[in-house]
Amino acid sequence: MDVIRQSHRYHVDKRREFSLCIIPFKSLLCAVAVAHVVDLSRYGLGIESDQQLEPGFVWFKDRIGGFKGGLLVWAKKVGTKY
């Protein structure tokens, strides 16, 4: 399946784990998770985690690629990762 993107995504080779707080739209309770960046673009970044992630508001402990927070729009399970 070919996907047309608005911006080129750059794959991140070096694994960098980071902490984030996610506030799911369903519960509005903050949950702390650990994830790592898999790709980065001008408009956002792709993350991967061992923990289940629900769509919602995301706040990073440290700024990542210029981003301090944002929206997690979708998440899916691939193998043992989300």
Task: For the chain, give every domain's residue range.
Answer: 10-72
pLDDT reported for residue 21: 95
As a whole number, mean pLDDT of residues 7-24 equals 86
Instruction: Could you list the beta-strand ranges (E) of the chain.
Output: 10-11, 17-24, 31-40, 45-48, 56-64, 67-72
State the chain's mean pLDDT as an integer.
87
Confidence at 51, pLDDT banded by 50, 70, 90: very high
